[in-house]
Structure 1
Amino acid sequence: MNMFGNMKKFAIEYQFLPSPYEEEEVLQNSWGIFRLWVAGYDICEYTINDDKKPYEWNLIHIVEWLCNNLEFILGYDPFPLPVQGDNILELIQESDKFESEEDDELYLWYQAKNSWLFRHSWFSSRAGSMLASVYFRRNRNYIEVAWNNNFFEDKQIFFTNPKGSYAVPKADFKKTIFDFLDNILSNLETKLGRDAKIGDQSITGLQKKVSMLK
């Protein structure tokens, strides 16, 4: 396994594995195990049918989402709605209480919320997998990592650490994320070539996005 960071604080671990499916080249070559360590817990680990599992899927979905959204996580993109909360989970909970008799106000409120979540949570890029619902946002010189996966319990899927929030020093977060992305993109480039397409982007294009934020 390739590990980046300090697993007692914040770390990423991954390993490519042979894909069990016949898929297009990029998906097939990015299949593997992914662990996100926060305060000593792999928050992507879950149990189903009494079998504890790491997250295993096409890792390119996580990689692409991070490359496209790091500028919002590291930059100045605060939660857009006028609610109070000590962490992301509380902000989301408070924003969900909003009511209005005006349809346009309801639309604008929840559109603002959902647009922000799309930029700050990779859950929309899970591609049908059991990817943990994790949020990232900058709070001064820290990056808050928050997660809430209790809703999976309705499907008899139980995450080892289902809910929490943790502040990672921004410098530590950046080093871990960039080391991970540099390594996995380099490995994908070796496998597929620098011009391999990931959606409408190339590996080289994703590498350029990452390098601009270092």
Structure 2
Amino acid sequence: MGASQMEGAREVIAEQIVVGDPSGFAIGCAFLGDNRCTEISMWANGINLLGFTKEDCHYTTRWLYLEGLVAWLNSFARNITEDPFPIEAEGEFAAEKDAYARAQLPEVDDDSTDEEMDELDAQYDLFGNWSFEHTWISERGGAILPDIFFEYKNGMIELSWDNRNAGDGVVFDCEFGGTRVDAETFKKVVLDFVEAYEQHWGIKVDDDSTWLRKG
């Protein structure tokens, strides 16, 4: 969605809500028109993690059919469990550990041998699947969405991000770092938000056919 389209979407707001307290943890959304376009914000300790600048204009994530993203949040909140980053790596938060682990991967090129390629795959497999499962990026569809890691640790949800190379002229407000929010607060806010999203659009986000429907 280009800048002009995003500006236009702002003009027709059917309903706007904020679930939670932005100074701690909150999710806000504006339901735009009747075609399932939703603008979403996620605040942690007063910062909107989804804010970004493109073409000199500031936005927050918005797109049609965010059911996959909402379903991912719903699943994570309902299945919170201790699952630490799987290898020893420098960094306080998962995003920092992931960046460190990637920097340690062996360099390969067109002249690399099969053995060198196998070594790369083996090292990546040690943490790559974990990183993929602890971010929502697979559910972004066509939305401009920051890469955020979600990890439960000691009664807190650690939210961390590495968006230093977003590309396409996008600069995220949160480029590299992390923060923590209370896990119980996180769970309540997410589940209340999911319920509000489903009620407004008249859908169930865990229905695999939902994204195909418009009513």
TM-score by length of 2: 0.76
Q: Which has the higher helix share?
A: 1
* Structure 1 runs of 4+ with >6 Å offset: none
- Measure, in 2, the Cα distance between the counterparts of 1:89 and 1:196: 27
CA contact (8 A) 2:77 2:186 kept: no
- Measure, in 2, the Cα distance between the counterparts of 1:67 and 1:87: 22
- Measure, in 1, the Cα distance between the counterparts of 2:158 and 2:206: 33
Q: Which runs of 5+ in 1 are unaligned?
A: 20-27, 202-214
Shift of 1:8: 1.3
CA contact (8 A) 2:68 2:205 kept: no
Residues 177 and 99 of structure 1, relative CA distance in 2, 3 Å threshold: same
- Measure, in 1, the Cα distance between the counterparts of 2:134 and 2:205: 27
Amino acid at match of 2:174: N
Shift of 1:18: 2.5
Partner of 2:10: none
Partner of 1:206: none
Q: Which runs of 5+ in 2 are unaligned?
A: 1-15, 108-114
TM-score by length of 1: 0.76
Shift of 1:196: 8.9
Q: 1:10 aligns with which of 21, 25, 29?
A: 25
- Measure, in 1, the Cα distance between the counterparts of 2:98 and 2:205: 39
CA contact (8 A) 1:36 1:44 kept: yes
Shift of 1:11: 0.8
RMSD: 2.7
Partner of 1:205: none
Identity across matched positions, percent:
26
Partner of 1:198: 208
Shift of 1:137: 0.2
- Measure, in 1, the Cα distance between the counterparts of 2:62 and 2:205: 25
Partner of 2:179: 166
Shift of 1:102: 5.2
Amino acid at match of 1:53: Y
CA contact (8 A) 1:149 1:163 kept: yes
- Measure, in 1, the Cα distance between the counterparts of 2:200 and 2:49: 24
SS at match of 1:8: coil
- Measure, in 2, the Cα distance between the counterparts of 1:115 and 1:76: 16
Q: 1:178 aligns with which of 172, 184, 191?
A: 191
Q: 1:131 aligns with which of 145, 151, 155?
A: 145
Amino acid at match of 1:177: V
Shift of 1:105: 4.1
